[in-house]
Amino acid sequence: MEKYHGKDLCKACTREAFYLSPTEVINVIKVVSPATSANLGSGFDVFGLALSSPADEMRFREIEDGVRIKVRGYPVPESSEENIAGYVASRVLSAKGVEAGVEISINKKIRPKSGLGSSAASAVGAAYGVNELFNLEMSREEILHFALMGEKYFSGAEHADNIAACLYGGFTCVSYYPLKVLSITPPEFLEYAVLLPEVEVETRSARAMLPEKVPLASHVRNLANAAFLVAGMLRGDGNAIRTGIRDEIITPLRKNYIPHFEELSSAAIKAGALGFAISGSGPACIALCDSSKIAGEGMAGVLSEVYQKHGLECTTYAGKVGVGCSVK
């Protein structure tokens, strides 16, 4: 058992300094890394939304060398090379020439294979936390780069939609080659409700079923919808958001993974949702709401009732759009 002989709190960086002896200090920080919803219908691999819950809680402690991982909550590997947080932390330490190591304790509250950016939360949280712990002064672009390395290694695809939303917060748009992120503060009225069924979807499997070719008419309609979604977020226009979340390319292929998807969508729209979409690769689904008409909590109740009727298990989350990864 470690014995702490005193404890100071640095208000400037929320860093805890644990004094073990007159000469030895161990730095500790705590980071909250939120779930995210990617695609939002028309914006495959481009759009992302930070959620206010669920969120992983990560504790970073300086150690002599190497990377150690401790996990509670949803089970993920504790090997530093098999855990995406450990992988990203190792790459940051190596690239920045940090001579010390780090122990990362993860309270995993975002279920893996859920479509809620579980791996992105770990990847972003690791890069963000190591940067803060060792005062590396990395820019958000650098943190994004290291998190993307982890996503590419573990999912097999270089998609930055979840990690951008997790890092920047709000509503994000990603442009590739070169990688750029546009962060937009969504309208105040916007809330969300997420329904997560008790099934899992592998990101690799979900990507494997994507079409190699898309009809021109479908591409044009989705491009128009994506433009409307961005405009709706910028202008606070609920009707534009309603138009923008529609998708006729990816959703028809993936909805069969989600029990009673059409019934969920119908119930959400009937109850006043601005739109309903698969969250990332699924199986989670997200409804966007104008809180002046129906709050996220109320919409979560509508969605869960559909599953209760069929005797199916699910978890729901609801709230305002999140602010992204932050020191706790």
Quote the Cα angle for 184-185-190, to 5°: 120
pLDDT at 202: 67
Look at residue 171 and tell me whether its pLDDT is greater than 70: yes
Lowest mean pLDDT among 77-86, 92-101, 133-142, 151-160: 151-160
Reference 46, options 280, 238, 217; nearest CA is: 280
Query: In terms of DSSP H, where are the helices of 174-237?
Result: 203-208, 216-235
Strand 326-327 and strand 275-278: pairing?
Answer: unpaired
Integer angstrom CA distances of residue 47 from 37, 44, 54, 207, 256: 8, 7, 19, 16, 22
Look at residue 201 and tell me whether its pLDDT is greater than 90: no
Look at residue 10 and tell me whether its pLDDT is greater than 50: no
Q: How confident is the model at residue 155 (pLDDT cuts 50, 70, 90)?
A: confident
In this predicted model, what pLDDT tens digit does every residue of 58-103 receive, in sequence order? 999 999 999 999 999 999 999 998 999 999 999 999 999 999 999 9
Q: Would you call 8 exposed, middle or buried from its count of C-beta atoms within 10 A (0-12, 13-18, 19+)? A: exposed
Look at residue 23 and tell me whether its pLDDT is greater than 80: no
**Residue 263 tokens, joined:** 């019934």
**Residue 281 tokens, joined:** 């690769």
**Fold (CATH) for 7-184:** Ribosomal Protein S5; domain 2 (3.30.230)
Integer angstrom CA distances of residue 83 from 18, 87, 326: 27, 6, 21
**Residue 325 tokens, joined:** 């990864």
**Residue 71 tokens, joined:** 């996990």
CATH superfamily of the domain spanning 190-320: GHMP kinase, C-terminal domain (3.30.70.890)
Q: How confident is the model at residue 153 (pLDDT cuts 50, 70, 90)?
A: confident
Reference 33, options 210, 134, 131, 167; nearest CA is: 167
Look at residue 11 and tell me whether its pLDDT is greater than 80: no
pLDDT at 211: 76
In this predicted model, what pLDDT tens digit does every residue of 292-325 receive, in sequence order? 999 999 999 999 999 999 999 999 999 999 999 9
Domain ranges of the chain: 7-184, 190-320
Catalytic residues: 151, 203
In this predicted model, what pLDDT tens digit does every residue of 267-282 receive, in sequence order? 999 999 999 999 998 9
